[in-house]
Amino acid sequence: MAETSVHGACHRESSGDRPNRTKQNPHPPPPLKRSSIPRDFISPLPDAAIHRIFSFLPLRDAVKTSVLSKRWRSTWTTTTDLVFDGEIGALGFPSLVDRVLSQCTSPAVKKFHLTDFRYDEPDRPKVDLWLRFAAGRPVEELHLRPSFFSPVKYELPQFLYSLSWLARLEVSLCCFSLGGIIRWPCLKTLVIEYSELSDDVLEGVFSGSPVLESIQFRGCKGVKNIIIDSTSVKELVLNDHWFSNPDKIWAPHLQSLRVLGRWYHDSMFRLDDVSSLAEAELVFSIRIRTGTLVSDKKRMCCDLVKGFFEKLHGVPTITVGGWCLQRELFEESAERFNFDEGDFLPSRKGNFDFLVKHLKRVEIIGFEANSFGSKHLLALIKFLLAEALVLEKLIIKAELPTCHGQKCLDAAVLSKLLGTSRNVLSYQRASKNAKVIFDYPFE
């Protein structure tokens, strides 16, 4: 048995042996040499270098540095990145923004972010004032994202529709009302989430943004048709259900289309003209509203997915998510794959001639231990053992089933697993060197 030891000294002195500490006069520590005192290496730097260093700090940390040195006291006021997060400021968020903006002296602002703050209608004048501050400087990146706890949506003021230097705009929980002409001559990326739009607003966006390249929508409503005749817009991203009665997407110059998130069957749209697409990403799922028969639900989903694939025929690169792939396979299996698994593989043996003559190693992975008895899986294992002439290893890896988020293996599953394993070991083998290895996570 391994021995564990602790080395050290533990000596308890008696009262007679205990030294009189009151009579001791230990030598005081030597005074610090001038060279050992921490030096301030930042203050002597040129203003441009200090400003560069501060540009990498979050705004709140940059403001805190004002107490460290008189030399830096006003340096933060020239920052060009103003990022205000309501989660940090909590109840003091409005006063924090007011105080910072009142001291900010930078003539230009690259980033101006207002995020995760609770907005209500009485706050409108103050938010308008904050945004006007950004509009008065050539702001390049503007984020406006009130929190989901806001009781009302913020209506964008008209002066925001004419920002000459704006290159990226992200808004959430806002209302667009087109009372004038949109002029965003430098805008390249537009992200709109959980907001209210209209066909007219979209038309104004595309006509007033001549260099717009990417537009992303998430959870928005109010639009029936997406008509993109702009030759500059290359990417369209649609995330989560948004339309109540959608019609179509017409974008003959679009090169990339991404449909993501969760949708309802009656909020899906049809693809009209997307003839220039070079890539498409379909990573979404569809929910059928209550009151619909199960058989009708499956048919609706299959028809929707089938319609997408028909319009995307010829697109060089298509990324398909699991839900869409399952619907497509369901459509195929209903018509073509109604077969007996025990007879199917042997009946197609001629298609596997090359494989069975050269196959040496097989790993079967990705199934839970309690599904090892699947007749489809056992039919495959039996076929491989019986036909693979030079097979050396057939490795079967099972995963533990999940119970309440934890991996578990109860007695019933274990008994089934061992019984099925014995059955597999009895299968006839074409290769005398074939070994069947069960990799079960019993720990």
Compute the Cα dihedral for 56, 61, 64, 68 and give only its sign. negative
The residue length of the chain stands at 443
**Pair type for strands 406-407 and 393-399:** unpaired
Contacts of 127 (CB under 8 A, 6+ apart): 114, 119, 154
Query: From CA 227, how far away is CA 216, in angstroms rounded?
Result: 14
pLDDT of res. 230: 94
Q: CA 67, CA 3: separation in Å to the nearest integer?
A: 56
**pLDDT of 103:** 86
Instruction: Report the range out of 3-12, 35-44, 137-146, 341-350 with the highest average pLDDT.
Output: 137-146
Closest CA to 425 of 416, 437, 413, 414: 437
pLDDT digits (tens, 9 = 90+) for 266-305: 677 888 999 999 999 988 887 766 655 555 666 777 777 7
pLDDT of residue 273: 92
Number of neighbouring beta carbons within 10 Å of residue 78: 16
What integer pLDDT is reported at residue 372 of this predicted model? 66
Q: What is the dihedral of CA 319, 320, 322, 324, to 10 degrees?
A: 160
**In this prediction, what percent of the chain has a pLDDT beyond 70?**
66
CB 436 within 8 A of CB 394: yes
pLDDT in tens, 75-134: 667 788 888 888 744 568 888 899 889 988 888 889 999 999 999 999 999 999 999 999
Tell me the pLDDT of the chain averaged across its residues: 78
What are the pLDDT digits (tens) for 332-388? Answer: 455 554 555 556 566 556 556 767 788 888 888 766 666 666 777 888 888 889 988
- C-alpha to C-alpha distance for 236 and 251, rounded to whole angstroms: 9
117-158: per-residue pLDDT in tens?
999 999 999 999 999 999 999 999 999 999 988 999 999 999
Percent of all residues in the chain with a pLDDT value above 90, rounded to a whole number: 34
